[in-house]
Structure 1
Amino acid sequence: MSRWMNPKKVLCIVYVAAMFVVAMDATVLNVALQTISQELDVPPAASGILNVGYLVSLAIVLPMAGWLGDKWGTKRTFLLALAIFTGASALCSFADSLTSLTLFRVIQGIGGGLLTPVGMAMLFRTFPPQERAKVSRSLILPIAIAPAIGPIVSGLMVEHFTWRWIFYVNLPIGIPALLFGLFWLKEHKEPNAGRLDVPGFLLSAPGLALLMYALSQGPLHGWNAPRVWIAGLAGMILLAALVKVELSVKQPLLDLRLLGNRLFRTTGFIAMCASAGLLGMLYVFPLMYQNALHVSALETGLTTFPEAIGLMIASQLVPWTYPRLGPRRVIIMGLLATSLILILLSMVDANTNPWFIRCLLFGVGIFLGQTVGSVQIAAFATIPPTSMGRASTWFTVQNRLGPAIGLAVLSGILAAVGTGSVNAAGDMEPNLMAYRAALLGAAGFLLIGVGFACWIRDSDAAATIRKPVASKPVKEQASPVES
C-alpha cells in the first residue's frame, strides 16, 4: 500500500462515504412521502410506514452490531452492511407498491443499523486517543452535510425528475465506497468475542423495536391509542428484563457494565440530550417556517442549510478548542450558547429578517457542532480496544433513542398547545405559540445536557488531550484543563 493509501486515510474515506448516505437517507424521504403516496395510490398517512419499518428493523439489528464486528471482523461486517444498504436503495427505486417499498426500506434499516456502531468501533480502534480530536473532522462531516442537503436533494429530485431518484443518489457514493473498502480496508477481529448472547438478543431486539415504534407513532396516533401504549409498555418490560439478564452474563450483547465508567456514562447522556434538541429543532422549525410563516419548502431548506455550514466549520475548530479548553468547558459553553439561540429562534415571526434567522442557525451549527465533536472524542477516552465494539453499539443505541424521545416530546408539545386556532372571523389560522413552545422544549433538552456536563472531569479524558511539552512534570500536564 502506498504512503497516501495508509490504513487511517482509507478508513476515513470509507467511513465518511458510508455514513454520508446513511445520514442523508434519514431526511431525504420525508419531502417525497406525499408524492410517493400519490403515485402508489395509497393514503398519505399510510406512507408513514416507510419510516416506521426502517426504524424498527434498525433497532432489531443494532444491539448485535458490536458482537458481529468483533466475531466476523469489522471489515467484513461493515462492507456487508454497506452492500445491504446500497443494494436495498437500488431495490427501493424499482418498487411498484407500498408493500415492496416498505420491505426494501426494512432491508435498508438492517444495513444502516450495522454500519454506524461498527464504523465507529473501527475509527476508535485505529486512531489512538490523542489523535481523535483531529479525526473528529471526518466524524462531523456526514453528520453535518448529509441531513441538511437531504431535503434539498429530495425537493429537486421530486420536482424535476421522480421520487425514485432519491434512492438512486445513494448508488454513486455507496458502490465506490464498497469497492474501495474491499481492496484497501484492513480487517480486525477480537479473539475473545465469545458466543452470541442469545437471551440478550431475544430481549433487546424486540424491546428496542417496540419502544422505537411507540415513540414514533405516539405523536401521530395519540399516546392513548392501544397499539401505541401496548407496544411501549411491552418494550419497557423487555428492556427491564434485559438489564437483569445482561448484568449476570459474562459477555453480554449490550454491556451495561460500561455505564460504570463515569465519563462514558455522562457523555452518553449528553449525546442523547444534544441529539434530541438538535433533531427536534430541525423537525419543528421547518414546520413553523412553512405552516405558520408560509415560506416555501425549498426556501425553508435553504434557510436551514447554514446550520450545516456551521457544523463544518465547528469540525475544524474542535482540534483547536478541545485540547486548550478541555471537553467540560467546550461542551458546557456549546450547549448553553445553543440553548440561547433556540430561545431567540422561538421568537421569530413573519417580519423577522431571513438573514437573521440564517445567522441563528449558523450559530447552532458552530456551537453544537463543537459539543457533538467533543462528546464523541471524550466518550471513548477510557474504553479499552477490546471493549470498543460493544461500547460503540451502546453509544449508538443512546444516540438513536435521543432523537426518538426528542421528536415524541416536541410533537406532544405541538399537539397539546395546538398548531391551529380560530380567529375572530371564525377561520382556522396557524398557532405560532405551539411552535415556539416546542422550540423552547428543544432548548430544554440542551439545558438538561448542561446539567450532565457539569459531572465531566477533564482529567478523565486526559488521554485525548494534546500533551504539553515533555519537560513538564506529569502532574502539571493535567492542571490546565482540570475543572
Structure 2
Amino acid sequence: MTFIAIVDGAITTVALPSIARQFGLTTAALDGVVVVYPVCLAMAIPASAWLVERFGAKRVLLTALLAFLGSSLLCGAAPDLGRLVAFRAVQGLSAGVLFPASSALLFSTFDSWEQVRISRYMIIPQQIAPAAAPILGGLLVDHLSWRWVFYVNLPVGLPAVLFGALFLAEHRGHRPGRFDLTGLLLSAAALGAVMFGICEGPNRGWSSVAVVTALVAGTVLLAAAIVFELRTAQPLLKLRLFTDRLFRDTNLINLVGLVPIMGAMYLGPLFIQQGQGRTALESGTSTFPEAFGVLLTVQIAGVLYSRVGPRIIVGCGLAWVAAVLLLFATCDAHTGLWTFRAYMLLLGIGMGGVFMPTTVASLATVARRDLAQASTLNTVVRQTGGALAPAAVTTALVLGTPAAAAANPPVTAYQHAYLVLAALAAATALFAFTLPDGAARAAARATTTVGRTKPVARRRVDAA
C-alpha cells in the first residue's frame, strides 16, 4: 500500500515536461503540482492518530487508500492545471493518513521481535519504490502518456484494497477523547507552511518573500501548537511521548540522518545528468543499485538486532554512509557509471543499517495504547527529514558554485555537496552511538525467547 504512495510522490517530476506541453505552460509554472503533494501530506498527518483510534486502523487505512486511488484517477483525467493541482492535494491528504495508519496497524499486530522480522520484508517496497519511480515514470511518459503516471496506481492499489478488506485484522486503540480541532488547525497550518518553505526555498531562493513568510509563519504556528498540545488534556499530537529518551533520540536520528541519506539519493541523478551530461536512463540505472544494498543489509541487521541492539547497528550504518559519501566526493566528470553504481551499492549497504533499527527501536518503550500517536509523530519526523534533504543539497550546491554558474554547477560544486552530507552523516553517527537501547534490546530478546518456547498465535498480515 505504501509502495504506490511513495512512488507517486517521486514519479510526477518525470512527467512535468509532458504536462507542460499538454497545457501550453512552462515547466516552472507546474511547480504547484509537485509542491502541493508534500504540503497536504504534512497537513493531514496530525489527524491520523485520532482517526485510527476512533474508527480503527483497518477502516482508516482502506478508506485512505480508496481516496488515494480515486484522486489518482481524477489526476490522470484532469482537463486543466487547476483541477490537476486540486486532485493532487487530495492525493497528498490521503497519503498523510495512509502512512501512519499502516504503521500503527503493523506495530500493534506484532511484538518487538516479529516487528524486526516483518520490517526486513517491509523495507523491500519502501526502497524499491523511490529507486524504480524515475525509470517507471520515463517508460510511461515515453510510451503511453503523462496521465499514466497517475493511472498506474489503480492496477496496483485495487488488489491491495481487496486483499486488505479480506485479510487485514482490525485494531483499535483506547477510545479517543474529544477531537482537538484547535490542535489540528495549529499543527496542520504549521506543518503545511514549513513544508512549503522547505520545498520552495531551493527554487524561489531562501530570501524570497514567499519562502521567508512561510518559514516564519510556520515556526510561530509550530511553537503555538507545541505550547497548546502540551497544555491540553487530550491533545491531537501526544508530544509528551518525546519525554521518552529512546523515542526522542531515534526520531532525532531519523530527522537529521535522513538528510545525508536522502540527500545523496537526490544528488546522484543531478550529478550524472548535469555534472556529467548523461541521459535520464543512465541516471536511473546508476542510482538503482542502492536498493540492492539496503535489501542485503536489512536482512543481516534483522538477525543482529536482538543480539547487539540498535545502537551499534545504527551507529555503524551511519558511519558507513559517511565513508561512502567521501568516496562520492572524489567523483569527477570522468568517473565511470559502473564506479558510481558500485558506490550506490555501498551507500545502500549503510542505509540498510539505519532505517529498520531506528523504526523498531522508536516504539520499543511506547505503551500499546499510544502506538497510533507514536506512529503519527514518527511520520511527521520522517517527512520533515525527507523534505529537508533536497533543500540541503540545493543549498550546498549554491554555496559551492560561483554566482555566474549557478544554473549549471561545476563538478566541484557536487563534490562540495557530498562533503557536506558526509560531515552531517558522521555527526549523526556519533550521536547514534549514545543511543540508550537497553530496553529495545531486552524487548527483542524477550519476544525471541517466547517465540522459541511456545507457538505464537497466527496473525493476519499487514499488506502495506
CA contact (8 A) 1:310 1:369 kept: yes
Aligned to 1:454: 433
Letter of the 1:445 counterpart: L
Q: 2:387 aligned to 388, 404, 414, which one?
A: 404
Structure 1 residues 446 and 429, CA, compared in 2 at 3 Å: closer, same or farther? closer
Equivalent residue number for residue 473 of structure 1: none
**Greater mean alpha carbon deviation, residues 382-391 or residues 316-325:** 316-325
Counterpart for residue 327 of structure 1: 310
For residue 465 of structure 1, give the secondary structure of its aligned residue in structure 2.
helix
CA distance in 2 between counterparts of 1:342 and 1:386 reads 40
Query: In 2, Cα distance between the equivalents of 1:407 and 1:469?
Result: 43
Instruction: Point out where structure 2 has 5 or more consecutive residues left out of the alignment.
Output: 451-464
1:432 alignment counterpart: 411
Kept in 2: contact 1:419–1:434 (CA 8 A) = no
Distance 1:59 1:469, change over 3 A: closer
Alignment partner of 1:125 out of 92, 100, 108: 108
State the Cα deviation string for residues 222-268 of structure 1 (Å, max 9, x = none).
11111110111011001101111111111211111111101000000
Change (3 A) 1:430 1:455: closer
In 2, are the aligned partners of 1:274 and 1:372 still within 8 Å (CA)? Answer: no
In the TM superposition, what whole-angstrom CA distance separates every residue of 1:406-450 from its partner, at most 9, and x where no partner exists? 22222112122227867xxxxx96411111122222223322321
Q: Is 1:50 aligned with 2:33? A: yes
Contact 2:308 2:441 (8 Å CA) reproduced: no
User: Where do residues 242-257 of structure 1 align in structure 2 (5 Å cutoff)?
Assistant: 242-257=225-240
Corresponding residue to 1:185 among 168, 175, 199: 168
Q: Which moved more, 1:228-237 or 1:434-443?
A: 434-443
Q: What TM-score comes out, normalization by structure 1 length?
A: 0.90
Which position in structure 2 is the counterpart of 1:477? none
| Aligned amino acid, residue 324 of structure 1 | R
Deviation at 1:278, TM superposition (A): 1.8
Deviation at 1:469, TM superposition (A): 6.9
Q: Please, which of 353, 364, 381 is the counterpart of residue 381 of structure 1?
A: 364
After superposition, residues 75-474 of structure 1 pair within 5 angstroms as 75-418=58-401, 430-467=409-446
Equivalent-residue separation in structure 1 for 2:206 and 2:37 (angstroms)? 21
In 2, Cα distance between the equivalents of 1:289 and 1:377?
A: 35
Count of residues in correspondence between the two structures = 448
Moved more, 329-338 or 452-461: 452-461
Q: Paired residue for 1:40?
A: 23
2:224 counterpart SS class? helix
State how far apart, in whole Å, the 2-side matches of 1:264 and 1:407 are.
26
Hey, what's the Cα distance between the residues in 2 that align with 1:463 and 1:28?
41
Whole-Å Cα distance in 2 between the matches of residues 191 and 270 of structure 1? 29
Residue identity in the other structure for 2:329: S
Residues 293, 349 of structure 2: 8 Å contact kept: yes
CA distance in 2 between partners of 1:317 and 1:98 (Å): 47
Give CA deviations for 1:3-59 in whole Å, capped at 9, x if unaligned: xxxxxxxxxxxxxxx111011112111111111111111111111111111112111
Q: Distance in 2 between matches of 1:338 and 1:241?
A: 36
CA contact (8 A) 2:108 2:171 kept: no
Asked whether the equivalents of residues 306 and 444 of structure 2 are also in contact (C-alpha less than 8 Å), the reply is yes
**Residue segments in structure 1 that go unaligned for 5+ positions in a row:** 1-17, 423-427, 471-483
Query: 1:237 is aligned with what amino acid?
Result: V
SS in 1 for 2:79: coil
Secondary structure of the corresponding residue to residue 129 of structure 2: helix
**Distance of aligned partners of 1:119 and 1:194 in 2 relative to their CA distance in 1, 3 Å threshold:** same
C-alpha distance in structure 2 between counterparts of 1:189 and 1:406, whole Å? 34
Alignment partner of 2:212: what SS? helix
Matched residues, percent identical?
Answer: 38
Contact 2:274/2:408, CA 8 A, preserved across alignment: no
Cα distance in 2 for residues equivalent to 1:42 and 1:431 = 29
1: CA distance, partners of 2:297 / 2:329: 23
Paired with 1:207 and 1:350, the residues of 2 have a C-alpha distance of 42
Quote the Cα distance in structure 1 between the aligned partners of 2:430 and 2:385.
16
Change (3 A) 1:105 1:346: same
8 A contact 1:141–1:315 mirrored in 2: no
SS in 1 for 2:366: coil
Contact 1:277–1:406 (8 Å) recurs in 2? yes
Deviations 1:126-153 (A, max 9, x none): 0011222101123311221011000000
Q: Which amino acid aligns with 1:377?
A: V
1:4 maps to none
The letter for the 2-side match of 1:415 is: V
Per the alignment, residue 7 of structure 1 pairs with none
CA separation in 2, counterparts of 1:157 and 1:222? 32
